[in-house]
Structure 1
């Protein structure tokens, strides 16, 4: 029994000795970083100044950067000396190391196994800089809960060494900040191998944000990730090895963090619209739901707005949205437009407004976004570009749902007039026109050409003026991209007998209706009111929007173009008087530009067929300021 008691006493003594030895270790904690990449970068920088830099992963998941180990008295003296010389952040403190776990610095070493160091403060140190010595058992407990901000450095500093900083305080930077040496390719591979899965995913997300990576965020560094790393390196003046060094990883993450802070980027989960996206909440704030839009208005006069788009639909709905957006005042007429099978993008701007719009069709839902800003402000231009990048990189549909059209009750008048809260951009004037060639050339009236900055055919096809005859009131438009109309005009050789029935096809109410209408009348005279040649008078109740439209007979042959209404100054004509420019005068005017097709008359058409032929050749011509 005496032998057993002796052995128990010996073991207890050894355990107490080991515990006392562990308690006698002290570390000067100078920083903590949220990721291994950032922590390695800072540790490497400090190592250029201090020979005893060590790094540990903590129970909180953050990474501590420390100096040591020291005895408790030496640690306190070292802390006071470094503070007095302003070589470490002011909120550095003594850590006992209970929260330290795996070491990460120095690479391949275990600093916890190193013997404790002694340190004596220099005699010239200020007396008040040396705090009272603590006994081994007096080391304070460390509460390692990360602070909001860049580091969780000063977590529980002893009251007698420094006051606890406010949660929003940031650790003071090194003075001066030591230069960070770069790594060899082998060293870069080695440091990369210690990254956790979440840190790898963080790098992929940053590469995606900067536009170099487009695949899934999976933490696997395959050929796609390597290619995106090489692209980032090349864009930033480095050798494109495809393996980023610790410094390069830190540079990219620091730049992203700076931009995120500037824009106030936050992940927004929009359950009503089924969208998850990073929005610049320092610049915008939620405004209202107005299906299919979710409006985020400018914040603090930032000059930037964001609109999320969410609606059910198919490819026709996508194409319809593409057409509708281009009627908005927030989508200027000039700029690039790309319409694909499943998505579209619109980059539009003028002197007052710039916007970028994107939408995509997936699984019966159309989801997208718009960013709108004032291009006259260079600083806002830069913030808008960064916001578009962030939104595009993070945008994703969720939940398999679209914004409920009945979420906010809107009457039909509001929907038509404001397009669910967005001001509609309308043309200055619209008139009719008709196809005169198989490639989409359009004949119209000069009445529609009134200082236009843009001319469109059927709302979304841009056109240029190919020829103008002011005397005859004729204008020939050529689409900027060739069209393939289902039918184009065949002109009659003569006007025929007086009293015959004719019809004009035109957009009587300009852009209010989606298709042309037929207005019937009769041929009253083959000259003007004063006997002018090259003019014919009709008994027909035309409206201003009909001007420029084709006047046809019962066979579908085009007799001429309807001229704008009006009478000589000081006179008012009775209702039902209209005039046309006959086909022979049109041919004489445009003969140098093109050859007009002669009509193939095969007898009168049924009313349905006549309407179909007229509608196929007639277009809406619009002038935009």
Structure 2
């Protein structure tokens, strides 16, 4: 059998099963090996073992009963660990496809490495007793007294010179493993180069101080064992292993002891928590455009798995979302490339902070994409919309939502003062935090400025001329509040040029509207904004007909904006916007204003 050559640098996740010590006995009941190949004669076996040792650590050679010679990697503490390493090495193309897991029952004397001692079978105690002693109620054996167990002898601590000598004998893989382990525990933050320079020495010293050892900067044999065994124990507890999803076109290392595959629903592959771990994972995969990426960025922020406090960073072709609160943490990354949007979300509870601080870099480093994305038939439509994200995920809802509209090119929004009167947090389109920068309670107007400057597709062009009675109007608003992601158009006409009590700043409209429409723009027939919808005045003693509503006229709005040092645009006299263009423009400049408490 052949073996693929080329220098191997084990990834961190594949180190979970490599055993440190050989003193466990080759034939302990659970010990397993990964047998790579077998050679007919000893000379060839030794040559192959030396070659393979340049690529892999823990290489051993044994004579077989057939007088062939087995070359194996191990030992591993149990069958699960051996199969995990075999799967990883085969996936990476490091070992041949016919390599197999062996229990070592046919391994005789050890022929490689040369310094290794012969490893003889250690059969179970039951098999070594006479047959009479294996009965359910064995008779006592005469003349056999149990020998007392020897007291364990403490291993003498190496001197600094002895530790240095032992360190010089380490192979490159072991030195790299030490750096990886130091990095895992947060003591080393430089590159894994297997060279013990000043950075590695400082990390060793810090680890020794943390563990109560003398801070020499050189690990003794016992300290190396403690460090590496601790690292491998943590990896085993997490179950870090590669998940390759052919449907999603994603390969990534996941903590499979904490999460388990659940289902695929475009645009997500869901991994639910395992054994109440408090950890979940979403893989993100779908065909789309840059607009799909940006839509995902906005809508993800409405999900409960993305707490409000955290980093929000959107770039041209990628974004990062982090969130944290008292009960939940999450980290989302996504990118747009070659017509596909792909990424992942890691979700965990606060008690897992330390572990996830180690898992997240491993996921980010291992994340890779290949051709293919979740199809539209995988549970939900492939277009990123709010409905596509509701499958299995809880959406965070505001206390209420109203409408507003952009009044300049930097994303400044005009809305109803009542919409933002007592809000702990205000958002625009549920994705962008905003604050009130001007307010007039008498007029019922408020101006919002997004915390991050926005570039709207369109903003209001006001109408300077007086509106005529009976003129047809179009009102844009989120009639159903946050249920829909685009505004609804409502049609009506101008019934009066003032309020019921003679208010000169008000238009009376005949139009059926809903609470979510309040604060939205009122368009004239030429496409200019002639007013902002106010609705009906509060009057507990009277109930107006449902189609009687009021709006603040454009002249008053512009005076208010100028007084607040906010510029606004005016539509030219000769411009008339076609109905189909008005529909698109209304959708681009009208925004959802949400109040959160």
Q: Establish whether TM, by shorter chain, passes 0.5.
A: yes
Map residues 365-514 of structure 1 onto 2, 5 A cutoff. Answer: 365-375=340-350, 379-397=351-369, 400-408=371-379, 416=387, 419-449=390-420, 451-493=422-464, 495-514=466-485
CA distance in 1, matches of 2:319, 2:123: 50
* Consecutive unaligned residues in structure 1, runs of 5 or more: 1-32, 41-55, 65-95, 105-110, 113-139, 144-153, 161-171
* Residue aligning to 2:233: 258
Query: 3-state SS of the aligned residue for 2:229?
Result: helix
Shift of 1:183: 6.4
Q: 1:483 to 1:234 in 2, by over 3 A?
A: farther
1:310-336 deviation line (CA, Å, top 9, x unaligned): 333443433333233222121122211
Query: 3-state SS of the aligned residue for 1:381?
Result: helix
Query: 3-state SS of the aligned residue for 2:311?
Result: strand
Q: 1:576 to 1:439 in 2, by over 3 A?
A: same
Shift of 1:563: 0.5
Root-mean-square deviation (CA, aligned residues, Å) is 4.6
> Is residue 620 of structure 1 aligned with residue 595 of structure 2?
no
Q: 1:200 to 1:233 in 2, by over 3 A?
A: closer
Shift of 1:595: 4.1
* Consecutive unaligned residues in structure 2, runs of 5 or more: 1-15, 24-57, 62-71, 77-106, 130-149, 210-214
CA distance in 2, matches of 1:400, 1:173: 61
Q: 1:102 aligns with which of 113, 116, 132?
A: 113
1:539-583 deviation line (CA, Å, top 9, x unaligned): 233332221122233444433311134552243322422211123
Query: 3-state SS of the aligned residue for 1:320?
Result: helix
Shift of 1:187: 5.0
Q: 1:495 to 1:261 in 2, by over 3 A?
A: same
* Residue aligning to 2:172: 195
Q: 1:499 to 1:159 in 2, by over 3 A?
A: same
Query: 3-state SS of the aligned residue for 2:302?
Result: coil
CA distance in 2, matches of 1:587, 1:420: 44
CA distance in 2, matches of 1:495, 1:245: 89
Q: 2:545 aligns with which of 551, 574, 593?
A: 574
CA contact (8 A) 1:417 1:424 kept: no
* Residue aligning to 1:14: none
Query: 3-state SS of the aligned residue for 1:302?
Result: coil
Shift of 1:534: 3.0
Q: 2:524 aligns with which of 548, 553, 569?
A: 553
* Residue aligning to 1:542: 513
1:502-555 deviation line (CA, Å, top 9, x unaligned): 333333333444433443332222221232343221123333222112223344
Q: 1:290 aligns with which of 265, 271, 278?
A: 265
CA distance in 2, matches of 1:503, 1:173: 92
- TM-score normalised over the length of structure 1: 0.64
Q: 2:120 aligns with which of 142, 148, 161?
A: 142
Query: 3-state SS of the aligned residue for 2:120?
Result: coil
Shift of 1:494: 5.6
Query: 3-state SS of the aligned residue for 2:535?
Result: coil
- TM-score normalised over the length of structure 2: 0.66
* Residue aligning to 2:277: 302
Map residues 589-600 of structure 1 onto 2, 5 A cutoff. Answer: 589=560, 591-597=562-568, 599-600=570-571
Map residues 67-146 of structure 1 onto 2, 5 A cutoff. Answer: 98-99=109-110, 101-102=112-113, 142-143=120-121
Query: 3-state SS of the aligned residue for 2:283?
Result: strand
Shift of 1:246: 6.7
Query: 3-state SS of the aligned residue for 1:563?
Result: strand
* Residue aligning to 2:7: none
CA contact (8 A) 1:310 1:366 kept: yes
1:169-211 deviation line (CA, Å, top 9, x unaligned): xxx996545445556998587334x335xx5675676577568
Q: 1:247 to 1:391 in 2, by over 3 A?
A: farther
Q: 1:578 to 1:604 in 2, by over 3 A?
A: farther
Query: 3-state SS of the aligned residue for 1:335?
Result: coil
CA distance in 2, matches of 1:317, 1:230: 48
Shift of 1:410: 8.7
Map residues 280-359 of structure 1 onto 2, 5 A cutoff. Answer: 280-359=255-334
CA distance in 1, matches of 2:216, 2:289: 44
1:217-249 deviation line (CA, Å, top 9, x unaligned): 9xx758xx97985785587589x9999987786
CA distance in 1, matches of 2:18, 2:159: 19
CA distance in 1, matches of 2:233, 2:543: 70
